[in-house]
């Protein structure tokens, strides 16, 4: 609404163009360029970057359209159910195993979608497409295996020329609102790059500083704020069956969060016990005069390996 009268496609194009500008400045600051040559020599990774760019285009474009057309609440639902879709993709595409609580959460999420479909009188297509496109984006990013800043730069570079070409065409045909809406409107359109790139850059920085369990909880803040805006500011309708559907989604997410925190705590405890046992064994062997440097040094490594196998076997999903 703040960007009216710009249409969804024009806003999307500005988001692509200005995101690359912001990411480019960030790369200049950190002086990180070596990855460009490596990426250019890897056709497979280039193809994955193109797929990631296409899926995030669908996600961004539909979200912008939903907000412009008074569907903020349904758009927020897409990001609420995204973790459930990601888990389902892990099972179907990567062969990951789920713990019982995760299965219950996924089943609860499916029930929520059915309840919401009844409430809307149709499947919640906006939510489902947003969730599946973002989950696909995450899956492709996992395959690309690049840093957050670098991958975002590569993706926006792929999108830059088509987006810039569209904006130039709009300007040539008199359809652009960049300058027609005044300086303030132009600044807001340019700011779409900032509000896109800066949170993603901060997320990448937080990923190496904040515990993963905390980071997982923070991902729910955005859809919570979106939902609140849809209800409080935009006054979107929420009949009882819609509240029931959202309540089921929140129940599923609560189960996932509880299970993830419990599993992380259990893995930390197990790793600590293994390391303590290894250290005690090494100390005993040293006291008896039978320990060798290799035996002492390998014990912690074996404990770490056991802890890793325990965590991997637990079926945890990213």
- Number of helices (H), then strands (E), belonging to the chain: the values are 12, 0
- In this prediction, residue 157 carries a pLDDT of 94
- Token digits for 143? 């395959």
Write the DSSP assignment of 82-116 as a string of letters. Answer: HHHHHHHHHHHHH-----HHHHHHHHHHHHHHHHH
Mean pLDDT, rounded, for 224-230: 93
C-alpha–C-alpha distance, residues 167 and 157, integer Å: 16
* pLDDT at residue 158 tops 80: yes
Omega before 224 within 30 of 0, i.e. cis: no
* pLDDT at residue 292 tops 70: no
Q: Name the average pLDDT for the chain.
A: 84
Write the DSSP assignment of 249-272 as a string of letters. Answer: HHHHHHHHHHHHHHHHHHHHHHHH
Instruction: Read off the DSSP letter of residue 276.
Output: H
- In this prediction, residue 2 carries a pLDDT of 74
Question: What digits encode the pLDDT tens for the residues 183-212?
Answer: 888 999 999 999 988 887 776 666 557 665
Mean pLDDT, rounded, for 223-234: 92
Q: Would you say 295 and 282 are in contact if contact means Cβ atoms under 8 Å apart?
A: yes
């Amino acid at each position: 609404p703040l960007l009216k009268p710009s249409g969804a496609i024009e806003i999307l194009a500005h988001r692509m163009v200005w995101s690359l500008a912001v990411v480019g400045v960030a790369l200049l600051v950190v002086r990180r360029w070596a990855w460009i040559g490596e990426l250019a020599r890897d056709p497979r990774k280039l193809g994955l970057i193109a797929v990631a760019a296409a899926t995030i285009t669908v996600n961004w474009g539909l979200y912008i359209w939903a907000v412009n057309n008074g569907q903020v609440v349904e758009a927020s639902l897409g990001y609420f159910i995204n973790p459930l879709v990601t888990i389902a993709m892990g099972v179907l595409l990567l062969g990951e195993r789920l713990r019982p609580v995760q299965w219950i959460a996924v089943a609860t999420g499916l029930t929520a979608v059915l309840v919401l479909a009844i409430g809307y009188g149709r499947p919640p297509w906006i939510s489902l497409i947003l969730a599946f496109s973002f989950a696909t984006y995450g899956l492709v990013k996992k395959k690309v295996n690049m840093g957050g800043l670098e991958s975002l730069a590569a993706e926006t570079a792929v999108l830059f020329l088509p987006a810039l070409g569209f904006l130039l065409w709009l300007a040539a045909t008199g359809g652009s609102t960049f300058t027609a809406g005044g300086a303030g409107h132009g600044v807001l359109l340019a700011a779409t790059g900032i509000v896109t790139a800066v949170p993603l850059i901060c997320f990448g920085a937080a990923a190496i500083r904040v515990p993963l369990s905390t980071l997982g909880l923070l991902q729910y803040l955005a859809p919570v704020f979106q939902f609140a805006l849809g209800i409080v500011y935009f006054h979107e309708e929420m009949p009882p069956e819609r509240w029931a559907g959202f309540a089921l989604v929140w129940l599923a997410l609560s189960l996932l969060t509880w299970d993830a925190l419990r599993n992380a705590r259990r893995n930390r405890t197990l790793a600590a016990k293994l390391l303590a046992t290894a250290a005690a064994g090494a100390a005993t062997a040293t006291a008896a005069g039978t320990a060798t440097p290799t035996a002492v040094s390998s014990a912690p490594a074996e404990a770490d390996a056991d802890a890793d196998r325990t965590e991997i076997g637990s079926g945890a999903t990213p």
